[in-house]
Amino acid sequence: MNPLLEVDGLSVAAPGRRGTTYPVRDVSLTVEGRGTVGVVGESGCGKSTLLRAIAGVLPRGLRAVEGTVRVDGREVDTRRPSGEVAMIFQDPMTGLNPVMTVGEHVAEVPRRRDGLGRRAAHDLAVHLLQEVGIEDAEHRVDAYPHELSGGLRQRVLIAAALSGSPRLLLCDEPTTALDVTVQARFVALLGRLVEDRGLGVLYVTHDLPLLGTMCDRIDVMYAGQVVERGSTREVLQHPAHPYTEALLAAAPRMDSRRARLVSIPGRPPVLLADTAGCRFAPRCPHAVDACDAAGPLGPGTSGHESACVRRDELEARSERGVAWR
């Protein structure tokens, strides 16, 4: 059977005055089917660009120049949206037009694409709002975005995303603007939709411990590339790339009352095409000469993949106490 999503060797170019940069460089990843795959990395590492390319909604100035995106075995055009893929953006306000009611948002696609009538669109909107756990859906359906809390707005966006009956849902840091309890309820809702609808979800965030609570597999992204990939358990308990270790160390400790965000020293590099070797090496406490010639992802001792030349050593000594499912 074909995987639900198969990204193969995808590169996205941003032509600029001082040369072309590549926010996404030779990225391959897979969502097999029902379930959630997480993509984690610092701000600026190319997460949003990756999702936008898959959804066919790259902003002006960015273009997929290499590689393919397949949904259920069929190649999709990265220059236009496809019906099988829906995306939820970081800021719930950007996805919502202030002069449209909740109901108009939620039923927009079926009305436009399938020519659904007013009454049927209204009923569908109420039904979808109920499905995403919005109480009092009959009244909320006529509300405007500014009348809703951030958590409710994000639920409205999910309801709108579901209206086109997508098989794959792309989530771009959808809980960043929400407080922790609202975030937890949102993550629970996603889990329920994965079960009930058989959805595949690709979930992007900078919050690695959060992925530990909701994902089957994790891809770690640095400077436009995937540098480590494996089951959630392997990646969190036996990280095999120093960048993943740094992300774990930077995350607020789940068991600490004084959650403190420690940042990773140094900055991600400019994303030129011809950077040879490991892009993390200049910031890496474990760097050695061989890093200059580091290759792409390869399997480590446990079978999960890392691009680090010292992956076996790292994996062998790492023991992390981060919560995972």
Ligand X SMILES: Nc1ncnc2c1ncn2[C@@H]1O[C@H](COP(=O)(O)OP(=O)(O)O)[C@@H](O)[C@H]1O
Could you tell me how far CA 281 lies from the centroid of its own chain?
A: 25
- The answer to whether 171 and 190 are in contact (CB under 8 A) is yes
Given ligand X, Mg ion, none, residue 36, with its beta carbon under 5 to 8 Å by kind, binds: none
- Edge-first strand listing for the sheet containing 63-71: 21-31, 5-14, 63-71, 74-75
Among positions 17, 43, 257, 274, the unique one binding ligand X when judged by CB under 6 A:
43
Helix %, strand %, coil % for the chain, to 5? 35, 20, 45
Which residue in this structure is represented by tokens 């609808």? 197
Given ligand X, Mg ion, none, residue 38, with its beta carbon under 5 to 8 Å by kind, binds: none
Residue 218 CB, nearest approach to ligand X (Å): 15
Radius of gyration in angstroms for the set of CA atoms belonging to the chain, rounded to a whole number: 20
Among positions 36, 48, 101, 205, the unique one binding ligand X when judged by CB under 6 A:
48
Strands 5-14 and 63-71: antiparallel
DSSP state of 96: S
Residue 151 binds ligand X (CB under 6 A): no
Residue 175 binds ligand X (CB under 6 A): no
Nearer to ligand X, 36 or 48 (CB): 48
No. of helices (H) and no. of strands (E), the chain: 11, 12
Given ligand X, Mg ion, none, residue 61, with its beta carbon under 5 to 8 Å by kind, binds: ligand X
Given ligand X, Mg ion, none, residue 322, with its beta carbon under 5 to 8 Å by kind, binds: none
Q: Which of 83, 141, 76, 142 is nearest to 114 (CA)?
A: 83
The piece of 55-63, 64-72, 74-82, 120-128 that touches ligand X (CB under 6 A) is 55-63
Given ligand X, Mg ion, none, residue 59, with its beta carbon under 5 to 8 Å by kind, binds: ligand X
Nearer to ligand X, 24 or 129 (CB): 24
Residue 23 binds ligand X (CB under 6 A): yes
Residue 94 binds ligand X (CB under 6 A): no
Residue 47 binds ligand X (CB under 6 A): yes
Enumerate residues 6+ apart whose C-beta is below 8 A from 17: none
Give the residues lining the site for ligand X (CB under 6 A): 14, 23, 41, 43-49, 59, 61-62
